[in-house]
Structure 1
Amino acid sequence: MTTTIPVGDTGVADDRAVDRTAGTVGIMLVDDHAIVRQGLRSILEREPDLRVLAEASTAAEALVVVGRVRPDIVLLDLKLSTSSDTEGLELCADLVATHPGLGVLVLTTFLDDQLVLRAIRVGAKGYVVKDVDTSGLIRAIRDVSRGGSAFDARSAAAMVRGLNAPEVTDVRRLTEREREVLRLLARGHSNKGIGERLFISETTAKFHVGNILRKLGVSRRAEAVYEASKLGVI
């Protein structure tokens, strides 16, 4: 059986169709560099069981396109603009919250112990650096598509180091979106109210609140606001 998935000339969904054969792994590429996306597409589509369905260069574009093409895997860079090196973390959280069955695999140049942990904690199923060889990347995609997790050797080592590091409350671990949510929490807004003001779903707002509580080492919303005020976040 064959289904059709809309993909445009730029990789952004439009009204034209591309065949997607049942049993193939549908992939969406999210990277701000067109040449990187083109190279990845060329590599991945040599594999008979992998199909690139769409591309996006920004977080906003990715959120729209993923809802239309319904990929199995999103191959996601963390740096999607010049203003932030970790915008992809916020996008990952939003994608996972709104599409629970989606497998997000981080593919980035950045490797940091806590960064790998943060990616996993916001919902990524794997983390590989861009110097991974072709076979390693393809293996990682297939592992995630089967419901597993995937790390290259360096990312796996970084995750172990991060897990063994002493737990500290570090406000720098809060993403900009989480800080926005925290400020609205301080004003007494519910998850629904937060979602309406930030133009995100109530489910996504709840997801961000949960991450905030965990990162600040507290169990209640009021405690998060108190802790954040002590640390000067709000």
Structure 2
Amino acid sequence: MSDIRVLIGDDHRIVREGLKQMLGDLSNGLPAMVVRAEAQTGPEVLEAVQSLGGPEGLDVVLLDIALPGRDGLDVLQALRKQWPSLPVLMLSTYPEKQYAVRCIKLGASGYLNKSADADDMVGAVRKVAAGGLYVSAAAAEALATAVGKGAGQGAEMLSHREHQVYRLLSAGHSVSEIGAQLGLAPNTVSTYRARILEKTGTKNDVELALYAERHGKQGAPG
């Protein structure tokens, strides 16, 4: 049986080392999981996948949501566009109910909290490498809730770009700072801000920050 070839995209070296050890220690007679490449920024993930030929050289991409240079959700969309058959398992420190639905809607093969135990992590990698969808009990509950709400409400109604702006606004960044980080004109960011305030039912940045804190989404996910 062939090895499962993995790329780890995470900006923290200790996390990458921990994942490598975890994957290497738990083969249990099954195909070994071999880390073919590591990347610590969004652009580096895309470059590594490109250099390995996408699914020709990789079976799974383990991708952190909070990556410098280009966040994991943007990278996920880019990978889905160029390499639609390459499974991507998203990782974050935030609970499934906050990002699992968004990631799966964008084409991820699964969403896993970094606090998951080693057996769950390895099981998730094996499942998505085999072409399956990994959904934890918490993620399944979040998906069911989203379906029940239909179009969703509040932050769930935000588009991907609106959600990026929302995260940065709620973390205290100014319109000009957000524009520089996302490569958008300030007036474009202001337009997104107006839509976000309307969809979340808030009137200003202070109310938005309080809203984000109540919903556990303040700042960028890890």
Give me the TM-score of the superposition, normalised by structure 2.
Answer: 0.64
Question: Structure 1 or 2: larger helix share?
Answer: 2
Please, which runs of 5 or more residues in structure 1 have no aligned partner?
A: 1-21, 180-197, 199-227
SS at structure 2 position matched to 1:131? coil
The amino acid that maps onto 1:138 is: V
How many residue pairs get aligned? The number is 161
The amino acid that maps onto 1:66 is: V
1:57 has 2:40 as partner: yes
The amino acid that maps onto 2:59 is: D
Q: CA deviation at 1:98?
A: 0.6
Alignment of 1:18-167 (within 5 A): 23-46=2-25, 47=27, 48-69=31-52, 70-81=57-68, 87-111=71-95, 113=97, 115-167=99-151
Cα deviation code 1:71-98 (max 9, x no counterpart): 11001111113x99xx211110101111
Q: CA deviation at 1:141?
A: 0.7
Q: CA deviation at 1:178?
A: 9.5
The structure-2 alpha-carbon separation of the partners of 1:110 and 1:142, relative to structure 1 and needing over 3 Å to count, comes to same
Cα deviation code 1:184-205 (max 9, x no counterpart): xxxxxxxxxxxxxx9xxxxxxx
CA distance in 2, matches of 1:131, 1:115: 15
SS at structure 1 position matched to 2:88? strand
SS at structure 2 position matched to 1:51? strand
The amino acid that maps onto 2:136 is: D
The amino acid that maps onto 2:18 is: G
Cα deviation code 1:133-158 (max 9, x no counterpart): 11111111111111110022222222
CA distance in 2, matches of 1:98, 1:92: 10
Please, which runs of 5 or more residues in structure 2 have no aligned partner?
A: 166-182, 184-190, 197-222
CA distance in 1, matches of 2:11, 2:38: 10
Q: CA deviation at 1:110?
A: 1.5
Maintained 8 Å contact 2:96/2:112:
no
Q: CA deviation at 1:114?
A: 5.6
Maintained 8 Å contact 2:146/2:152:
no
Maintained 8 Å contact 1:132/1:152:
no
SS at structure 2 position matched to 1:167? coil
The structure-2 alpha-carbon separation of the partners of 1:32 and 1:178, relative to structure 1 and needing over 3 Å to count, comes to closer
SS at structure 2 position matched to 1:150? coil
After TM superposition, what 4+ stretches of structure 1 lie above 4 angstroms from structure 2? Answer: 168-171, 176-179
Q: Which has the higher relative contact order, 1 or 2, with Cα contacts under 8 A spaced 6 or more apart?
A: 2
Maintained 8 Å contact 2:39/2:45:
yes
Percentage identity across paired residues of the two chains: 32
Q: CA deviation at 1:117?
A: 1.5
